[in-house]
Copies of this chain bind each other. A is one copy, B any other.
Amino acid sequence: MSLARVQNFSVSLDGFGAGEGLSRDKPFGHAGERLHEWMFATRWGREMFGLPPGGTGGVDDAFARQFYAGIGAEIMGAGKFGPPGWQGNPEWTGWWGSNPPFHTPVFVLTHHPRPSIAMGGGTTFHFIDAPPAEALKLAREAASGRDVRIGGGSIVVRDFLAARLVDHAHIAVVPILLGRGVRLWDGLEGLESDYQIEATSSPSGVTHMTFTRKDT
C-alpha cells in the first residue's frame, strides 16, 4: 500500500514551521537554519548536505534517515518551491540547483501551473492546481506503488492532516521560540482522535512526534 508520509518536518516549540520575512536570501525568514540544525548534526545529514563526515548516530539520525525510505514522489506547496513571487519568474527552477535532493517526481501545488521541468538526479517538477486529494492521487500514480512524501511547508502539511490524507507524520519539535512565522498546528483540533501520537525526545533537545492514522 502506498502511504502518504510527512518526514523530518521541523517546527519550533511555539509551532512555527518557518519564520517571518521569507525571501530569496532567507528561505526560512528570521528562523534561518535553526529549525534544521538537528539534521545537520546527524550522520545522515552530514552526507545529505555535503558536510564533513561524522555526526551523531542516535535517535535523530534514525528518524532523519526515513526521508528517502520507500518514497516515490513528493508533494510540496508553492511556498516551499520558491520565495514569494517566484511564479512571476520563468527562470526559477527551485532553491536546489541542478541536482535537487528529491530524486523522484515532485508535484508543486500552485495556482499558476507551468510546464514540467526535468532536473538532474531523477527529480522532475510538475506544477498542478489541485486540491489535496486530487494531488495525492496524481502523486501516487507517479510513485509507482511507493509512498508519497508530503514535503511542506506548514500550510500544506496542515491541509493534508486536516483532510486526514496523511497516513504517517514525523514532526520534529525544536526547542526554540520563533515568536512569529507560519504556524503548523492551526485548525487541527481533535487530530488525536484519528491518530496515534508518540513522542520521543532526543539528547539534542529535539522531540520527535509521530502521528499514525488509526485506520492505517
A interface vs B, CB < 8 Å? 13-15, 173, 175-180, 185-192, 197-202, 205-207, 209
Contacts and interface: CB of A to CB of B under 8 A. Distances in A.
A197 B176 CA distance: 9
CB-CB nearest 8 A-B residue pairs: A179-B189, A14-B185, A199-B201, A175-B197, A201-B201, A177-B191, A177-B188, A199-B207
B201 A207 contact: yes
23 contacts: A13-B185, A13-B209, A14-B186, A14-B188, A15-B15, A173-B173, A173-B207, A175-B197, A175-B198, A175-B199, A175-B209, A177-B188, A177-B189, A179-B186, A197-B205, A198-B205, A199-B201, A199-B205, A199-B206, A199-B207, A200-B201, A201-B207, A207-B207
Contacts of A175: 192, 197-199, 209
Contacts of A205: 197-199
Nearest to A12: B185
Contact of A192 (B176, B186, B206): B176
A188 B199 contact: no
Contacts of A201: 199-201, 207
A197 B196 CA distance: 26
Given A175-B192, A177-B192, 16 more contacts: A14-B185, A14-B186, A14-B188, A15-B15, A15-B185, A173-B173, A173-B199, A176-B192, A177-B191, A178-B189, A179-B188, A180-B189, A199-B205, A199-B207, A201-B201, A207-B207
A199 B175 CA distance: 8
A176 B179 CA distance: 21
A122 to B, nearest CB: 35
A207 B176 CA distance: 15
Nearest to A187: B179
A176 B206 CA distance: 18
A158 to B, nearest CB: 11
A179 B185 CA distance: 8
A14 B13 contact: no
